Chains A and B, each alone.
Chain A
Amino acid sequence: MKLNRRHFMTGVAAAAILPLARPAFAQDKGLIAIITPSHDNPFFKAEAVGAEARAIELGYETIIMVHDDDPNKQSELFDSAIARGANAIILDNAGADATVAAVQRAKDAGIPSFLIDREIKESGIAVSQIVSNNYQGAQLGAEEFVRLMGEAGNYVELVGREADTNAGIRSSGYHDIIDQYPYLVMAAQQSANWSQTEGYEKMETILQANPDIKGVICGNDTMAMGAWAALEAAGRTDVIVVGFDGSNDVRDSILAGGIKATVLQPAYRQAQIAVEQADAYLTDGSTGQDEKQLMDCVLINADNAANLETFALSS
């Protein structure tokens, strides 16, 4: 009897230790495929890193792939994720319309998709669509821009890639604020396709035709970095530049007195939440949340830029 009890207690002790020992033989919950645009933009890299870290913590293997904003390439990546037998897909997609078919194909193959950052134009196909509240964020950026501009002057808008819903929503958020100030006049509006190089080139050309501009508002931080480089090269560091994303590059520029403000999207946390919801869905069959979820953005300027690191703000 005593012996039995001792054996029993040993068993209890072993069971108590078990959770601690689990990471040693983790990687048994399956495979999560993480698909994003190119990591050239640190925003997408932060998403992939955030998702991967959380997936490994939760006991999954991961495979990280990039679609370079090419829907055909994205479609191939979905095929390979399906072929590899992925249990779930975390996706920052390559186009609101073009992605619907790929996500549907994964669903038909029994693989749930969890979307981050960008929406698709259908609901009921992905399990979750967790996106930054781009409209709220754009309004924050626009309010700061209006304040910096003193409610008057000529300005330029660099918008993102047109196939991307986020390009339209940010522009719409900017204009819902800015257009209500009659002394703010838009001198030029062009797409620089989210790209730093294009941001530089477009800014250079616009500046030649409109030397009297006072500010530039950009749909993301990489275009803002391009525009700022062009303004610096032209000796126009008096021009007010505002971006969107909250990258470390723009943080450093703000702290050095260059770009004036940006809007932080909590990209790192957002990717982690997507993985947590994937885990909940795979474990319990439900995420417990609505499919489409918005996460609020935060204004970053000289006051709080120092607290920003890899798309997360410490308090």
Chain B
Amino acid sequence: MRDLFTPLAILSCMALPLAGCKIVKNPDPNDASVQAAEMTDEARMAAYADEIWTDKVLPTVSQNAVSLTDLHAQIDAEGLDAAGAAHGLRPEGEANPWNFAANGEGTIVEANTESRAAKLMVDVDADGAADLTLQLGPVIRGTALRDAMPFIVFTDFRDQIEFAKLARALNDLANAGLSVPEGDLVGRTVTFEGVYTLRNKSDAIELVPTTLQVQ
């Protein structure tokens, strides 16, 4: 994270006039690293999330997204690890679960938009039973959005606190980007794209949508 600011810091130092007799180091209030140091973890990570959201996060989701139904057919046929190796995204290390970017379309069979952890239950194979949950938030479970990003590496962050704030900031941006129509949603068609974490192949899919449209 700090590395990001280094080029900015160097640039702003180069911009300082060298005409005086003696160079006295004063912290430049416009220096990005000085500003960053004064921010709380939460504000700094929210700023970083804002910075990467449109340029890096959304494109990463779109580029890696596969059809949810095809993906789960493959998981059923070849196992989670084989499907994960082909389409999954995960940080290195033992016991790190796979994250998948996926898209699809289905029918809303149940909707809970009252709760702080609002969600839509969606049937994608037309058997009347829910196949996945779309997490609308604002309370969004998990850190799938953060962990699916290959360019976000834990070692680059000061500690788990900073890293956790980034996950929260990304979840908040996902929530902020969604708009769900009012009224009864059950029976309506929804198209979605987003990410989810899958620890075991039989676990429930709790997808965090980055795009969502109710028809």
By a beta-carbon cutoff of 8 Å, the part of chain A in contact with chain B is 96, 119, 121, 123, 130-131, 133-136, 139, 143, 165-166, 168-169, 172-173, 176-177, 180-181, 266, 273, 289-296
Contact = CB atoms under 8 A, between A and B. Distances in A.
A119 B159 CA distance: 7
B168 to A, nearest CB: 6
A176 B139 CA distance: 8
Contact of A121 (B95, B158, B168): B158
Contact of B96 (A135, A177, A294): A294
B93 A289 contact: yes
B53 interface: no
Identify the 3 closest CB pairs spanning chains A and B, nearest first: A135-B164, A293-B93, A292-B155
B91 interface: yes
Nearest to B95: A295
B167 A290 contact: no
Contacts of B117: 180
B87 interface: no
Interface of B: 91-97, 116-117, 138-139, 141-143, 153-161, 163-165, 167-168, 199
Given A294-B154, A296-B97, A165 B116 contact: no
Contacts of A266: 95
Given A266-B95, A289-B92, 11 more contacts: A119-B159, A119-B160, A135-B164, A139-B141, A165-B159, A165-B160, A169-B160, A169-B164, A177-B139, A293-B92, A295-B94
Contact of B161 (A130, A172, A291, A292): A172
Contacts of B158: 121
B24 to A, nearest CB: 29
A173 B96 CA distance: 19
A174 B91 CA distance: 24
Contacts of B94: 273, 293, 295
B161 A296 contact: no
B97 to A, nearest CB: 7
Contacts of A176: 164, 168
A135 B95 contact: no
A135 B163 contact: yes
A270 to B, nearest CB: 9
Contacts, number: 74
Main secondary structure of the interface of B (DSSP, over half): loop
Contact of B159 (A121, A173, A289, A290): A121
Contacts of A180: 116-117, 138-139
A119 B154 CA distance: 12
A273 to B, nearest CB: 6
A53 B86 CA distance: 36
Contacts of A130: 93
Contacts of B97: 296
A264 B153 CA distance: 24
B148 to A, nearest CB: 14
A139 B163 CA distance: 14
Contact of B160 (A135, A177, A273, A296): A135
Contacts of B143: 135-136
Contact of A296 (B116, B155, B165, B199): B199
Nearest to A134: B160
Given A177-B139, A296-B199, A290 B92 contact: yes
Contacts of B161: 135, 165, 168-169, 172
A163 B117 CA distance: 32
B138 A169 contact: no
Given A176-B168, A294-B91, A123 B155 contact: yes
B96 A296 contact: yes
A134 to B, nearest CB: 6
Contacts of A296: 95-97, 199
A81 B164 CA distance: 34
B135 to A, nearest CB: 12
A279 B40 CA distance: 39
Contacts of A123: 155-156
23 contacts: A119-B160, A121-B158, A123-B155, A123-B156, A130-B93, A133-B160, A136-B142, A169-B160, A169-B161, A169-B164, A176-B168, A180-B117, A273-B94, A289-B92, A290-B93, A290-B153, A290-B154, A291-B155, A292-B155, A293-B93, A294-B160, A295-B93, A296-B199
Contacts of B141: 139, 143
Contacts of B96: 294, 296
A314 to B, nearest CB: 15
